[in-house]
Amino acid sequence: RATSQPGFVDMPALSPALRQVALYLPDGSNPRTREFARQLRREHASDRALVDAVLRWFNTEPFFYRLDAPPLGRNGADEFLFDLRTGYCEYYASAFAVLMRAAGIPTRVVTGYQGGFRHRGGDYLLIRHSDAHAWNEVWLPGSGWVRVDPTAAVSPARISRGARDALPGRQGWFDAEW
Question: How many Å apart are CA 128 and CA 144, to the nearest integer?
Answer: 31
133 carries an active-site annotation: yes
Catalytic residue among 27, 133, 165, 175: 133
Catalytic residue among 47, 78, 89, 131: 89
123 carries an active-site annotation: no
- Give the amino acid at 172: G
**Residue/partner pairs of 82-89 with CB below 8 Å, 24 or more apart:** 82/32, 82/33, 85/61, 88/151, 88/163, 89/133, 89/134, 89/135, 89/151, 89/158
Catalytic residue among 47, 78, 131, 149: 149
165 carries an active-site annotation: no
For the chain, the straight-line distance linking the first and the last C-alpha, in angstroms and rounded, comes to 39
Nearest to 66 by CA among 86, 96, 92, 90: 86
SS3 string, 66-92, reads CCCCCCCCCCHHHHHHHHHCEECHHHH
- Any idea which residues carry the catalytic annotation? 89, 133, 149
